[in-house]
Amino acid sequence: METNCGLSKISDEIGIPAHHLTYYFNGIKKQSFSDWRNQLRVAYAIGILNQGNANQLTLEAIGLKVGFKSNSTFIRSFKNVTGKTPSDYLVSTS
């Protein structure tokens, strides 16, 4: 997953003005674009963890693979979405 996947890049790629996307996320979905993007990244990470790939990759490597630029941001976002850190999630699913 791309780490540089911002609102303006999405806007350019799909041809919808950035302010329309901002309205959609803030007004309709009631969450910011970055929160939405991080939820997708965490869902992708959960898929990797559920496939048993945590034995082959470190949690930091999984965070980088799903698009987080730092391990601390990955852990914080994962906990915001799931209520658990990635390592706590692994323990609870094993």
- Residue 40 burial by CB count (10 A; 0-12/13-18/19+): exposed, middle or buried? middle
Q: Give the pLDDT of residue 2.
A: 57
Q: Look up residue 94 and give its DSSP letter.
A: -
Cα separation, 56 vs 81, in Å, equals 24
Per-residue pLDDT at 93 = 83
pLDDT of 83: 96
Q: What is the pTM of this model?
A: 0.85
Q: What is the pLDDT along the chain (94 residues), one digit of tens a residue?
A: 556 778 998 999 999 999 999 999 999 999 999 999 999 999 999 999 998 767 788 999 999 999 999 999 999 999 999 999 999 998 888 7
Phi, psi of 4 (to 5 degrees): -100, 60
Sign of torsion over alpha carbons 76, 42, 49, 88 = positive
Task: Name all contacts of 15-22 with Cβ < 8 Å and 24+ positions apart.
Answer: none
